[in-house]
Amino acid sequence: MNIQKSEAYNSKAPKVEKIVSIEPSVGLSDVRKRAENRYLISDKSEKVFNKVLAQSAKRAGIEMVLLDAESLTSDDVLYFNELLPLRTQILGSNFLKEVEIKRPSSSSLEALVPTHRVFEEAPNISSQWSHLANVYGTPYFAVHGVYSEIRPTEAYVWLFLCVFPPATLIYLFDVNAESVFYTAVVDVTSGEVVYREIRSFSDKPTRHNLPSITYDSFAVLKKIRKK
Amino acid sequence: MLLLLATWTLPNASFAQFSKNYTPIKLSGDVPIEFRQSARDLSLKELEERDKKQLKLSRKESKEYFTLSNYAQNRLFRSGIVYHNDELTEYVNSVAQILLVNDPKLKQELKIFVTRSTFPNASSWRNGCIFFNIGLIKYLDSEAQLAFILAHEITHYVRRHSLLKFRNEKSIERQGVFRHDEVEQMLASMKYSRERELEADLDGMEMLLTSPYDPVEAISALELLRTVGKDTNTVNLDLTSIFRIDSLDFDSLDICQTEPEEEEEVAFGEEAKTTSKAYYLTGLDNDESPQDSTVSGSAKLEKKNVGFIEEGEGEEEGDQEEEEEMPAEEEEEEEEEETEEGTGEEPEADQEEIAEEEEDLTYLLSTHPAIKERVAVIQEILDSRKPRPGQKFLLDAAKFERIKLLTRFESVQYYYRVFSYRRAAYEALVLMREFPNNQYLHLMAAKSLYWYAYYRDDWGGSGNLEEGEYAGPAIDHWYCFLDYLDQDQTQEMVLNLLEDYGKQFPDEDELLILKGRLLRQMDQKKASKEAFRAYVDRFPKGAHVEFAKRQLK
């Protein structure tokens, strides 16, 4: 599996012990399937993703609170009043600071920068959410997501199969997919993005490859320490 | 005497909130199930019960029908833009209550919501949910107009128009005709769409005629859709009185005064040529000036056709399939003008054909077109039925004005929330003309411009972000002015604004925080620290105190 990774972190950020992940999302755009099935499959994958995130965070030694609309109770108005706008801000601030945390097309996947770097100046968001640190017992709020484009098997594979049937049989099991895992973590008390990462890989997101990708992300986050 | 006093003080009391400050609307009370339920579970459940619904669709088609609409609606609820348990929703529901006083069963089936979206639109969904955007309410002139639009949307639901639309699309698909030509397919479905809109108008009109509302307001409601988002709704700002930028000579400024772009040329005669900096720098309203003189040259006149679900990221197939909309007509007038003018060269038959094609194209491009012909049909009903005069307001005219003001204040909040900082600042500055002492508006104007300054380099100056729907040349001039300033001038402008507003509202702690942040960005570290220190001293329990302390470390 070919993985390209772009990550950046704020080396001055304090150690991360606990994070709140707001509405992790999975978008599977399988062009072979009908629109309604794409929604249903994405929904199912989202549940798997949420589970994997929780497990990986635990393995990396980070306590994670996962919030999404379906897990809410009728008195969770805070989610709509504060957390959803915060989520929009986290994604938006990274987007505005020219970080490609958005749905990729094949061309934008290529545009990702596969380098590690430390922020020269961390992207900022408003400090209006700093009170949430007291509500959830941590200043760290994150957005996690996966987006994947799955396309039909390329024509040349069928051609190879006809010409060299036994040797190329393996290609039949090769999925023609491009995926992106993205995350951004902010410290609501400083209003700074402390960590962000985009990772693209040529495979579908599955319960087999997601654990290693998400664990690696949490492990890096865990290592961030104040100088 | 007491009664007189009460009638005078009550409306004034309801506006007092706007003169001093404003608190944006938040969700309160219990979160309704619609906001929390799983679209997947709902779709599967509905699929099981499909026999009861008499859809006349195959199982596969039913699955598509339920799933696409449930996910689209689910995304809307989860985007956080739908209000609940608030004054706006309560008001629109009160109007519905009056409209449906004789049909309580139908009223019970409907769930009417107001959304934060600034796009002038309303939509009706197959499950009885009706969404009214604040962007539509803010342009209405009377409660009766609101009632007509509501009646129109209710008809879409009662007549199951979304189902008919879906069936029609499936039928076109099954026939296999035009399979590979999307435009042909759209043209084929256009006829049905036209019929549905007219049906919604006619039944909506019937509903209005049986209500105590003035039926003539139906005409003005439709006419109004013609003008929303056009020049009449924009206001030029008096930039010289709002901003201080020492390094900029306003008098010698010649902003956006280049030749009009040909494809967008909308200037009129001599007066257009006289459009000058003096005009929009002195801040004349449209009603104080020649209407056409607001037109300038290179101000960007690109119309942005913002969809109803504008917060979502995508245009996934079928996202909007279930909606029946009542948005603004945007293209009709221009198309009409072009058609009328003609070139005089084509034979009459050809001209008719061209006009027909243009009309079809207009219909395809506009989400809710043909206002002229719909107005004519409604006028015919009024002429033939000669209904008794009704009332424009049944609840309270002052209440209606308050609701409109609320939507305008909420628009500022919405634009800020979706990163349309320039637009948010504009809306706040326009409202400040009416409410010069409103603290919230000053904060929002300063906040929006601070974040604009923060991000502007990353935008490449001009701003590629969604700026909301097109709203006329005054906004173009505003954007043009901001684009004209370089980063230093922008920062200077914002810093002066923060200082001025800070003096006017010394209790507004966020202004001080923003000042500290801006000074830091301007590399004035000492001054920045002083601002943060001042914050900690003056607002030890302020919302941003942790942030300020962190900056001092």
> Which tens digit of pLDDT belongs to each residue from B143-190?
999 999 999 999 999 999 999 888 888 887 777 655 556 666 666 666
Q: Is B552 on the interface with A (CB under 8 A)?
A: no
β-partners of residue A200 are: A4, A180
Name the one residue in this structure whose structure tokens are 């003018």. Answer: B341
| Nearest-angstrom CA–CA distance, A12 and A9 | 9
β-partners of residue B83 are: none
User: How many residues can be counted in chain B?
Assistant: 553
Residue A31 or residue B284, greater confidence? A31
Q: What confidence category does residue A60 fall into, taking pLDDT thresholds of 50, 70 and 90?
A: very high
Residue B194 or residue B503, greater confidence? B503
- Is the pLDDT score of B273 beyond 70? no
Q: Is B522 on the interface with A (CB under 8 A)?
A: no
How much is the mean pLDDT over chain A? 79
Contact B546 A35 (CB under 8 A): no
List of chain B residues whose C-beta atoms are within 8 Å of the C-beta of residue A72: 31, 35-36
Please enumerate in sequence order all residues whose Cβ is within 8 A of that of B94, keeping only pairs 6 or more positions apart, or say none.
B395
Do A25 and A46 form a contact (C-beta atoms < 8 A)? yes
Contact A96 B317 (CB under 8 A): no
The pLDDT value recorded for residue B440 is 97
- Is the pLDDT score of B327 beyond 60? no
What is the mean predicted confidence (pLDDT) over B37-54?
87
The pLDDT value recorded for residue B261 is 43
- Is the pLDDT score of B11 beyond 80? no
| Nearest-angstrom CA–CA distance, A65 and A97 | 27
Q: What confidence category does residue B292 fall into, taking pLDDT thresholds of 50, 70 and 90?
A: very low
List of chain B residues whose C-beta atoms are within 8 Å of the C-beta of residue A40: 40, 43, 67
Lookup: tokens for A20: 């709140």
3-class SS string, B100-152: CCCCHHHHHHCEEEEECCCCCCEEECCCCEEEEEHHHHCCCCCHHHHHHHHHH
Shortest distance between the Cα of B296 and any Cα of chain A, in A, equals 29
- Supply the DSSP string of B299-343, one letter for each residue: S--------SS-SSS---TTTTTT-EE-----SHHHHHHHHHH--
CA distances from A180 to A5, A205, B9, B108, B365 (A): 10, 9, 59, 45, 34
List of chain B residues whose C-beta atoms are within 8 Å of the C-beta of residue A88: 80, 311, 417-418
Contact B458 A69 (CB under 8 A): no
Q: What ipTM was estimated for this complex?
A: 0.83
Do A65 and A20 form a contact (C-beta atoms < 8 A)? yes
What is the mean predicted confidence (pLDDT) over A12-31?
87
- Is the pLDDT score of B530 beyond 90? yes
Instruction: Tell me which residue of B85, B188, B99, B74 sits closest to B149, measured CA to CA.
Output: B99
The pLDDT value recorded for residue B356 is 63
The pLDDT value recorded for residue B534 is 96
Least confident of A39-48, B51-60, B157-166, B426-435: B51-60
Least confident of A8-22, B366-380, B451-465: B451-465
| Nearest-angstrom CA–CA distance, B411 and B424 | 8
Residue B221 or residue A100, greater confidence? B221
- Is the pLDDT score of A174 beyond 50? yes
Highest mean pLDDT pick, A105-109, A165-169, A190-194, B52-56: A190-194
What is the mean predicted confidence (pLDDT) over A43-64?
94
Contact A23 B78 (CB under 8 A): yes
Amino acid at B293: S
In degrees and rounded to multiples of 5, residue B134 shows phi and psi of: -65, -30
Q: Is A157 on the interface with B (CB under 8 A)?
A: no
Amino acid at A2: N
- Is the pLDDT score of B291 beyond 60? no
The closest CB to that of A124, out of B26, B454, B550, belongs to B454
Instruction: Tell me which residue of B239, B234, B530, B220 sits closest to B392, measured CA to CA.
Output: B220
CA distances from B222 to A133, B141, B150, B305 (A): 49, 12, 12, 19
| Nearest-angstrom CA–CA distance, B273 and B487 | 30
Amino acid at B312: G
Do A188 and A127 form a contact (C-beta atoms < 8 A)? yes
Q: What confidence category does residue B370 fall into, taking pLDDT thresholds of 50, 70 and 90?
A: confident
Q: Is B251 on the interface with A (CB under 8 A)?
A: no
Q: Mind listing the pLDDT tens digit for each residue in B80-107?
A: 899 999 999 999 999 999 999 999 999 9
Q: Are strands A177-187 and A140-150 parallel, antiparallel or unpaired?
A: antiparallel
The pLDDT value recorded for residue A107 is 44
- Is the pLDDT score of A89 beyond 50? yes
Q: Is A121 on the interface with B (CB under 8 A)?
A: no
**Contacting B residues, span 439-468, partner chain A, CB-CB under 8 Å:** 447, 451, 454-455, 458-459, 465
Lookup: tokens for B323: 């909606």
How much is the mean pLDDT over chain B? 77
| Nearest-angstrom CA–CA distance, B505 and B20 | 11
Q: What confidence category does residue B280 fall into, taking pLDDT thresholds of 50, 70 and 90?
A: very low
What is the mean predicted confidence (pLDDT) over A194-214?
88
The pLDDT value recorded for residue B460 is 46
Shortest distance between the Cα of B454 and any Cα of chain A, in A, equals 9
Question: H helices within B159-282, ranges in order?
Answer: 161-175, 182-209, 217-227, 239-242, 269-273, 277-282
β-partners of residue A8 are: A117, A196
Please name the residue of chain A whose CA is at the shortest distance from the CA of residue B521.
A121
Whole-prediction pTM: 0.81
Q: What confidence category does residue B260 fall into, taking pLDDT thresholds of 50, 70 and 90?
A: very low
Least confident of A19-33, B165-179, B487-501: B165-179
Shortest distance between the Cα of A47 and any Cα of chain B, in A, equals 12
Q: Mind listing the pLDDT tens digit for each residue in B187-199?
A: 666 666 778 888 9
The closest CB to that of A103, out of B37, B313, B546, belongs to B313
Do A131 and B547 form a contact (C-beta atoms < 8 A)? no
| Nearest-angstrom CA–CA distance, B73 and B38 | 11
Residue B366 or residue A203, greater confidence? A203
